[in-house]
Amino acid sequence: MDMCHYCGYPMENIHRITLYKENEEVNELLCKECYVEWLESIKG
């Protein structure tokens, strides 16, 4: 089972996000809670 990139907990519902690190696209997997937090963080 996939694990959340942030909290490390195995989740059934995974959200895929794309981060930009040093001009490279990095795909990460987040659980729902971390995904919501990430969305809030990019809103500013």
Within positions 10 to 29, which residues make up the interface with Zn ion, using CB under 5 A? none
What are the φ/ψ torsions at residue 18 (nearest 5 degrees)? -120, 120
Residue of 3, 7, 19, 39 interacting with Zn ion (CB under 5 A)? 7
Q: Which is nearer to Zn ion, 22 or 42 (CB)?
A: 42
Instruction: Give me the DSSP letters along 5-42.
Output: TTT--B-SS-EEEEEEETTEEEEEEE-HHHHHHHHHHH
CB of 22 to Zn ion, least distance (A): 24
Q: Is 38 in the site for Zn ion (CB under 5 A)?
A: no
